[in-house]
Amino acid sequence: ETLDKGLEKTKTSFFGKLSKAVAGKSKVDDEVLDNLEEVLVTSDVGVETTLKVIDRIEARVSKDKYLGTAELNQILRDEIAGLLSETNIGEATEFTIPSEKKPYVIMVVGVNGVGKTTTIGKLAYQFKKQGLKVVLGAADTFRAAAIDQLQVWADRVDVPIVKQNMGSDPASVAFDTLQSAVNQNADVVIIDTAGRLHNKVNLMNELTKVKRVMQKVVPDTPNDVLLVLDGSTGQNAFEQAKQFTAATEVTSLAVTKLDGTAKGGVVIGISDQFKIPVKYIGVGEGIEDLQVFNKHEFVDSFFK
């Protein structure tokens, strides 16, 4: 399966460590709990979430109770699935948008280099494949490369793009994009935004203005504010999530580059700590390498 393939490194590493942690053990004692804690922390689940999982396991099995490895794996799997379900992650496996909202507007945020443009291209491809009419907006006007890269994806997927010159007002690009989408009776609009984090107040002001201007064209937009995080950066992804959620209301997450990393555990920690659903995961550079995040498949892929 593609999911397994994309997460191979995380899976091998996680499962390998897990097996070692409980190898030859037949009871849950302090040593086993310490080992499990280390496995989770080194898999980038994050300290807070790790401690929560360990507490729950401790509460579930009375100490020094004799357990088989399979049983211990099952408990761990249940607890991790439980953490993911708390964030209300859907069971979806298909790329869908609510049909009653037209155009459905997705504003994409995230720092440069995390895979924002690629994720926008892959999403546009998925929606177009379903017969939906997609329009892209190049509102990251800070870097010429950002506009050019989005154009490359627009050409590749064959969807229209609305852009202006580098340095123009991002809110103005967003306004034009929504107007064009309404005129074309488009189904989905995906707007790229600048990912500079050097000044939190600037970032907040810019995103707020982009949103306000969008609402002049289509009330109650954006329908989704998608934060893109690079899963291979481990704890940096947590830090970025913290900063962006402070700057704007983030409604969903895309975690990219999980194919090249053993740090797939970040997905678990980030969902738990920010209570924002992980909607998509990036598992490669190709156009098809974006998947709808499904918690059951994700957890299963680790414990299979």
46 is in an annotated binding site: no
Shortest gap between Cβ of 110 and ligand GDP (angstroms)? 6
Evaluate the omega torsion of the peptide bond into residue 160 and state whether it is cis, within 30 degrees of 0: no
Evaluate the omega torsion of the peptide bond into residue 98 and state whether it is cis, within 30 degrees of 0: no
Tokens matching residue 135: 């329009």
Shortest gap between Cβ of 252 and ligand GDP (angstroms)? 16
| Per-residue interface string for the shown chain with ligand GDP, residues 61-100, x marking contact by CB under 6 A | ----------------------------------------
Q: Which residue matches tokens 């291979």?
A: 232
| Per-residue interface string for the shown chain with ligand GDP, residues 249-278, x marking contact by CB under 6 A | -------xx-xx------------------
Shortest gap between Cβ of 229 and ligand GDP (angstroms)? 10
How far is CA 287 from each of CA 111, 122, 185, 284, rounded to the nearest angstrom? 21, 5, 25, 8
258 is in an annotated binding site: yes
Selected binder of ligand GDP within 42, 73, 112, 251 (CB under 6 A): 112
CB 189 within 8 A of CB 177: yes
Residue 43's closest CA among 70, 65, 76, 75? Answer: 76
SS3 of 80-92: the string is: HHHHHHHCCCCCC
Residue 72's closest CA among 11, 7, 24? Answer: 24
Tokens matching residue 31: 């040593």
Say how far apart CA 124 and CA 113 lie, in whole Å.
19
Shortest gap between Cβ of 69 and ligand GDP (angstroms)? 33
Stretch that binds ligand GDP, among 7-15, 39-47, 211-219, 280-288 (CB under 6 A): 280-288
Q: Is 141 in the site for ligand GDP (CB under 6 A)?
A: no
Considering the complex, state which of residue 239 and residue 285 has its C-beta at the smaller distance from ligand GDP: 285
Residue type present at position 250: V
Selected binder of ligand GDP within 2, 20, 113, 235 (CB under 6 A): 113
Q: Is 35 in the site for ligand GDP (CB under 6 A)?
A: no
- 246-281 b/e (C-beta count within 10 Å ≥ 16 → b): ebbebbbbbbbbbbebbbbbbbbbbbbbbebbbbbb
Shortest gap between Cβ of 138 and ligand GDP (angstroms)? 11
Q: Is 149 in the site for ligand GDP (CB under 6 A)?
A: yes
Q: Is 170 in the site for ligand GDP (CB under 6 A)?
A: no
Q: Is 285 in the site for ligand GDP (CB under 6 A)?
A: yes
195 is in an annotated binding site: yes
122 is in an annotated binding site: no
Q: Is 114 in the site for ligand GDP (CB under 6 A)?
A: yes
Q: Which pairs with CB-CB distance under 8 Å and at least 24 residues apart come from 69-73?
A: 69/19, 69/22, 69/23, 69/25, 72/22, 72/25, 72/28, 72/32, 73/18, 73/22, 73/303
Q: Is 102 in the site for ligand GDP (CB under 6 A)?
A: no
Q: Which residues bind ligand GDP (CB under 6 A)?
A: 110, 112-118, 149, 256-257, 259-260, 282-285, 289
User: What are the binding residues?
Assistant: 110-117, 192-196, 256-259
